[in-house]
Structure 1
Amino acid sequence: MAKIIPFKAVRPTRDKVSLVASRSYQTYTQAEREARLDYNPFSFLHIVNPGYKYAREITGEERYALVKNRYSEFKEDCVFVQDETPSFYIYKIVDREQQVFHGIVAAASAEDYEKDVIKKHEDTIEYRENIFKAYLKTVGFNAEPVLLTYPDNNTIASIIKTIEKERAEFEFTTTYRDTHYLWKVEDDSIIKTIQQEFEKMKTIYIADGHHRSSSSCLLSQDLKQNNPNHKGSEPYNYFMSFFIPESELRIHEFNRLIKDLNGLSKEEFLIQLDAAFRIENRGKIPYKPSKKHHFSMYLDGDFYSLYLRKTNYTFENSLDALDAQLLYKTVLQPILGINDLRNDNRIMYLNGKKDTVNLKSSVDSGEFAVGFGMVPVTIQEMKQIADDGLKMPPKSTYIEPKLRSGVTIYEF
């Protein structure tokens, strides 16, 4: 039984939302960040990069305190205003390719995360969890929702469709040519109906934001233990999420780029590959796989197709059947010597939204020796792995939609 609650979002004013909204900090190049910081005083990047004001890099607790200060200044200057009534927020994105995403911004339950009502499919790294927990504890807000997905629901879909006929609170287009819309839902009867529909759901799934949800849960546990008057209704018992139906989730693959062949010659490498795959040289024409257990490879100016020899590989569970795991078990670990997918600097990941040409050019540049492509994970695979209590290798999925930071903010 999934529990979601409305909350009083802190939001930019209508005239400034397009200036405030930003992508995740890490997705900008240095030149892009500097341009936005130089010429847009309202960008949310000023909050998450407070050292810009002092022309130096600031880290750790000092940075967290300054983030809180910059956020307070945005509120004092009325760039941000808090809603008076707890609300759900209908959020719609139409991307540059005319894909449409509809969902609900609400607060998800940390207890649901602990009890596995909210299921995970990806491992988290402890030190990253603790860093983000410390950050949240100092700043006291969350500005980027965790992406959660739920089974398609006709009642919720009908409510969203009806509300979207009204004038949106926000409507803005980004420089990426994605158009964002937001509607505020404060009608008690509508809120109750949405909550009742979620209560019927046994499980919902994290699509994107495993570290953010895990850190929020750790913070909830800390604050609960240190609050002698804990009641369970405190804001720290929840974390901001964007709930999207499963049918609208878009999952892309992450391709793999490897810097060297682990001391092997090209011929030696191909011979070792032959034990696990049927290999065909496709020449200069870009090749992209279209089936599970088929891979593309770009090596020394040529594309190759790799088809798994299933007689030599055993599928013992749902994780073994995942192509990212299969590639790790048959190639990356035994042949190329990459054991730690998270921390080995010999491997880089390229999201599958980028053209095959990007993989080719990365190898042709000399920075990488070989590149591998695969087909995207399906929502059914992702859910099965989560249901089985297993975890995907890092960078198994590149999931859309990607929300902007600073459009709705959850304080605790």
Structure 2
Amino acid sequence: MATVKPFRGFRPVPALAAQVASLPYDVMDSAEARLITSQNPLSFLRVTKAEVDLPPDVDIHSAVVYQKARENWEWLIQEKIMVQDEQPSFYIYRQQMEDHVQVGLVAAVSVDEYEQGIIKKHELTRPDKEQDRVDHILTTGVQTGPAFLTYKEDAVITGLMQAAMETAPVCDFTADDGIRHTLYAVAAPSATAALAEAFEHIPVLYIADGHHRSAAALKVRDVLRRGNPVHTGAEAYNYFLAVIFPHTMMKIMDYNRVVRDLNGLTHAAFFERLEACFTYERQQGPVKPESAKTFGMYLASRWYELAVKPEVVTGLGPVAGLDVSILQDHLLQPVLDIGDPRTDQRIHFVGGIRGMGELERLVDSGDYQVAFSLFPTAIEELMAIADLGGIMPPKSTWFEPKLRDAMVVHVIR
């Protein structure tokens, strides 16, 4: 069963929500965050990327940054920019990006169930990124950004969510990027009980995005549990903030690759080695793959469509059969010598939201020599691999729209 728990969330006052709510801390660098906060001092980036209020040479993982995050969080409360709900509540978070709509439940989910594998992961995490979130949470006392979870769609939950949205929203705005964010609060005990009971029939939840947030919640729980001689398991630190969407609403975009060089190969030698596993055909314009097992490639101002040879993919398992794995295992590693894409500095990843034009720009700049566009990973592939306990390659999925931080904040102590 999946445990979901209502909580007394902190939310921005409606009139300021559009200014406060921010993109996640990990989709931008410090320079971008400084620019945003210089134009909008109410941005929640002053909490999630508090280095914006410190000298540019500050170590972003130093204690002074986390302390500044705490100070900025407390300022938002003191100024009544963020206020806490009186009653434990669930929240319904609706997002609309052009014609795509997704509706999720904002809830506190169980750290124990993450540890037990009821909340399933599909990616490895980096210890340094985990520790950054641990330090941020322990210093501020709050979970500022939600994990992005999914579950296999359930008609009962869908009906309860739709009923909750018949009330007036507590927050509704369209951000600068054109994405509309609408939030509903569900405080009535009968309604929260019905939602909690409905999720008890959901056997597992899946992490779509937010592996480091989830892993950090476990470490925070362990730290606070050790320091609490009267630990009961009911404390807020035993839960972490999440938004949970039905799998049918998930929008996964392509996650593309650019590589700095051709591993010392001439263009002719590169194409010769590529032909071991792929066929290719020159195209007149950008190639955005329309089906699995095909790829776009931009090299020397020219686009090509690649197709993996059938014999290469015969008998591959769920992970090895992913398009990201095929490209890595049969081209990036053997031809371009990209051994570990998590650490290799010669490869860079570009979310599909930026379009094919960004791939062209990066290669045409001379900073990169070749770009590859991919067909998006399917949510069913992600769930199947998670069910098997498998690990997907890094940068396999790019979810849109992104969840805004500060729509709801969860206090852990």
TM-score normalised by L of structure 2: 0.95
Unpaired segments ≥5 residues, structure 1? none
Give the counterpart letter for 1:47 in structure 2.
V
CA deviation string 1:46-97 (max 9, x = no partner): 22344444544443111111111111111111111111111000111122x1
Alignment of 1:237-316 (within 5 A): 237-282=238-283, 284-313=284-313, 315-316=315-316
Q: Report the CA distance shift for 1:325/1:277 in structure 2 as closer, same or farther (over 3 A).
A: same
2:94 to 80, 92, 95: 92
Partner of 2:346: 346
Partners of 1:35 and 1:344 in 2: CA distance: 29
1:25 aligns with 2:25: yes
Partners of 2:243 and 2:14 in 1: CA distance: 20
Partner of 1:230: 231
| 1:236, distance to aligned residue in structure 2 (A) | 0.5
Q: Percent identity?
A: 34
Give the counterpart letter for 2:88 in structure 1.
P
Contact 2:157-2:199 at 8 Å conserved across structures: no
Q: Report the CA distance shift for 1:30/1:238 in structure 2 as closer, same or farther (over 3 A).
A: closer
Contact 1:129-1:215 at 8 Å conserved across structures: yes
Partners of 2:70 and 2:31 in 1: CA distance: 25
Contact 2:48-2:144 at 8 Å conserved across structures: no
Partners of 2:353 and 2:54 in 1: CA distance: 37
1:80 aligns with 2:82: yes
| 1:351, distance to aligned residue in structure 2 (A) | 1.1
Partner of 1:215: 216
Partners of 1:125 and 1:135 in 2: CA distance: 16
Partners of 1:30 and 1:323 in 2: CA distance: 32
Contact 1:216-1:239 at 8 Å conserved across structures: yes
Q: Report the CA distance shift for 1:133/1:186 in structure 2 as closer, same or farther (over 3 A).
A: same
Give the counterpart letter for 1:374 in structure 2.
L
Partners of 1:12 and 1:386 in 2: CA distance: 35
Partners of 2:363 and 2:154 in 1: CA distance: 45
CA deviation string 1:124-152 (max 9, x = no partner): 11222122212211111012111100111
Contact 2:146-2:242 at 8 Å conserved across structures: yes
Partner of 1:204: 205
Alignment of 1:390-401 (within 5 A): 390-401=390-401
* Count of equivalent residues: 410
| 1:98, distance to aligned residue in structure 2 (A) | 2.8
Contact 1:219-1:236 at 8 Å conserved across structures: yes
Give the counterpart letter for 1:407 in structure 2.
M
SS at match of 1:149: strand
Alignment of 1:365-404 (within 5 A): 365-404=365-404
SS at match of 1:71: helix
Give the counterpart letter for 1:347 in structure 2.
I
SS at match of 1:324: helix
Give the counterpart letter for 2:91 in structure 1.
Y
Contact 1:143-1:407 at 8 Å conserved across structures: no
SS at match of 1:354: helix
Alignment of 1:146-165 (within 5 A): 146-165=147-166
SS at match of 1:133: helix
| 1:214, distance to aligned residue in structure 2 (A) | 0.8
CA deviation string 1:359-395 (max 9, x = no partner): 1222122111111111111111111111111111111
| 1:316, distance to aligned residue in structure 2 (A) | 4.0
Contact 2:111-2:238 at 8 Å conserved across structures: yes
Partners of 2:247 and 2:107 in 1: CA distance: 17
Contact 1:94-1:178 at 8 Å conserved across structures: yes
Give the counterpart letter for 2:71 in structure 1.
N
Partner of 2:178: 177
| 1:353, distance to aligned residue in structure 2 (A) | 2.5
Unpaired segments ≥5 residues, structure 2? none
Supply the RMSD in Å over aligned alpha carbons. Answer: 1.7
Give the counterpart letter for 1:71 in structure 2.
W
Partners of 2:226 and 2:355 in 1: CA distance: 49
SS at match of 1:92: strand
Q: Report the CA distance shift for 1:329/1:39 in structure 2 as closer, same or farther (over 3 A).
A: closer
Q: Report the CA distance shift for 1:228/1:29 in structure 2 as closer, same or farther (over 3 A).
A: closer
Partners of 2:7 and 2:18 in 1: CA distance: 22
| 1:313, distance to aligned residue in structure 2 (A) | 4.4
